[in-house]
Amino acid sequence: MKLKKKQPAKKTPEKKKLAFGLFSYWSMFGMLLGAGGGIVYHFTYGYQYEGCAIVSNPYMSAIWGALLALVVFEIWRIISVEDTP
């Protein structure tokens, strides 16, 4: 009676950790940077354009900055994941 050799278990690639199951930590960091950038943009240029709803309100400037940074950081994350073997 021959014994079969036990084959080693296949290693599954580790999944990247996501905050709240949605965003990577780099994307969350990017959102914070973008929100800070939106606030800085509001206080440097926002007062000149009082009629614009985006830059005339500091909260809207922060939200738009965070969303823009989220898009950039998520695209960067997707490209970096596809490039790794």
Q: pLDDT of 32-63, one tens digit each? A: 999 999 888 888 877 776 677 777 788 888 99
Banded pLDDT at 14 (limits 50, 70, 90): low
Domain boundaries defined on the chain:
22-83
pLDDT of the residue at 60: 87
Residue 42: both structure tokens together: 């509001």
- Please tell me the distance from the alpha carbon of residue 39 to that of residue 31, in angstroms, as a whole number: 12
Banded pLDDT at 13 (limits 50, 70, 90): low
- Please tell me the distance from the alpha carbon of residue 14 to that of residue 24, in angstroms, as a whole number: 14
* More confident call, 58 vs 14: 58
Residue 25: both structure tokens together: 């930590």
Is the four-CA dihedral 17, 68, 42, 20 of positive or negative sign? negative
Query: pTM higher than 0.85, yes or no?
Result: no
